[in-house]
Amino acid sequence: MEYTQLGRTGLKVSRLVLGTMNFGPQTDEATSHAIMDAALDAGLNFFDTANVYGWGENKGRTETIIGNWFAKGGDRRDKVVLATKVYGNMAPDGEAWPNHDKLSALNIRRAVDASLKRLQTDHIDLYQFHHIDRRTPFEEIWQAVDVLVQQGKILYAGSSNFPGYKIAQANETAARRGGTIGLVSEQCLYNLAERRAEMEVIPAAQEYGLGVIPWSPLHGGLLGGVIRKEVEGGRRASGRAADSLADAAIREQIQAYEDLLGKHGLEPGEAALAWLLTRPGVTGPIVGPRTAEQLESAIRAVDLELSEEVLAGLEEIFPGPGPSPEAFAW
């Protein structure tokens, strides 16, 4: 496994991030524990979750599964750089109770303590804001973060799904206040088929020294060889991938993508991850395996070197928007 620094910090993290969103809803606890053990054995040390994972009446379940895994011992917690998130409403289903969501100082304090309890740990390495909060000023957010850092409950703060201007606003506010390092990472939607982050989000992250952590690197399965799977095994696409393939132009684009990789003997999902690992500013994409086999495939991407011919072909099929303002002006 390869490692890199998380943004401008001294923290070393693996080039792949283990996403845990499927733990609970799609993957049972025993299999989830086996996947986490396999990830550690392969050298993955960066695990990502969120307090709302598990969803609906089971929100918090994913953190509980991870906490039960930590409780098995064997230095599991010490080996993991643990990231979780705050923003979603954690009040019991059907109870529209205030102050159980978003980024008020009250909710941040409440959410951290609840996550620590579920995760069975005394600290969170990277605490991420899952979405922007348009009503809570960053002065309040950073005040809450400062207290948590002083208490030893969190070490670093990161963002997720932030536009470029909010990354700038957050870190400029942190700089004015002093005493806090500000955001050190941004977790954003970024893959071959969805490159709008290159316009402003990734440049802002690079300017402020944030590591970029792409989520949905296969774009909901669209980049994982979906057409080939239909042809070979009769397995039809579902969800976002099925919706996208209903558009004839997108289907033609994905067919060209699969044809290119097939010509070079490459697995589409592994190539999509390998492409992200070549992109400026990217720390590592989040992979969310439901099975051990899917994890093994993702790990192979770290050692996969894409030729200049393949990279040029991918750029032709999936042209990026270019940086701002040239992407939409002169």
Q: Which residues are catalytic?
A: 53
Contact 281, 205 (CB under 8 A): yes
Distance in angstroms (rounded) separating the CA atoms of residues 33 and 122: 20
How far is 2 from 96, CA to CA, in rounded Å? 45
Q: Phi/psi at 307 (nearest 5 deg)?
A: -70, 165
CB 242 within 8 A of CB 236: yes
Max Cα separation, the chain? 58
**DSSP 3-state percent helix, strand, coil across the chain (nearest 5):** 45, 15, 40
